[in-house]
Amino acid sequence: MIKVLTTGMGETASDFLAHLLGPIPAVGLGGLAFAASLVLQCAVRRYVAWIYWTAIVMVSVFGTMAADVLHVGLGVPYTLSTPLFMIALAAVFALWYRSERTLSIHSIRTRRREFFYRAAVLAPFALGAAAGDLTATIGLGYLGSAVLFAVAICLPAVTHRASLLGAVTAFWTAYVITRPLGASLADWMAVSKADGLGWGLGPVTLAWTVAIVGFVAFLALTRRDTESAV
């Protein structure tokens, strides 16, 4: 739930900052915040809920900006940027597996594996942003795209439950789909009533941020998301 919320919040926050500050200052600010969050995450050397999810939020914001820069700034169509980001993600997974012989998130206990993990986290955000905008612009709209990705995200769970898909593959498949799912939902809430609910970028960003803070606080207090010591 938090992962979907971060993707939607990143989508609307990126657009809101671009409209408020301008594209170039927004990308610069997003890049600095993204770098600072990763430095903080690497410095703690352990899992801390609010630090980890702050980094994920900033990955979401900056990943959206990366996709938007290609499309808006450089004029690269979504039909081209989507497969490009897909190739980039496949390359990250291939290099990661070739080096470590595993893609499991439970094996991330070294700096090198954390580097591969961060690259694998960033690529799906850019890919998902492009894929979500692509489906929205080819006729599905934001609500139709959200329904499409909501159905798609159920497939890894169903196939894994039926022992047709491994746990690691199922995890990363669902992880990638959370991006266009959350972004499509947030865009549908924020855009004009002609295409969505018309709530606006600022209010939707604020509402989703409050929800993220609430869920992360719950995890920090209950530690429901940490592995028990063996």
CA 146, 150, 152 angle in degrees (round to 5)?
Answer: 115
How does pLDDT run across 148-170, given as a tens digit for each residue? Answer: 999 999 999 999 999 999 999 99
Segment 180-194 shows an average pLDDT of 90
Count CB atoms within 10 A of the CB of residue 202.
14
Query: Is 101 in contact with 160 (CB distance < 8 Å)?
Result: no
Instruction: Give this prediction's pTM.
Output: 0.86
How does pLDDT run across 28-58, given as a tens digit for each residue? Answer: 898 899 999 989 988 887 889 999 999 999 9
Residue 230 has a pLDDT of 43
- What phi, psi does 48 have (nearest 5°)? -125, 120
Q: Which residues of 115-143 are buried (b: 16+ CB within 10 A; e: fewer)?
A: ebbbbbbbbbbbbbbbbbbbbbeeebbbb
More confident residue, 165 or 109: 165
Whether 24 shows a pLDDT value over 50: the answer reads yes
Residue 212 has a pLDDT of 97
CA 215, 221, 225 angle in degrees (round to 5)?
Answer: 65
Distance of CA 110 to the CA centre of its chain: 23
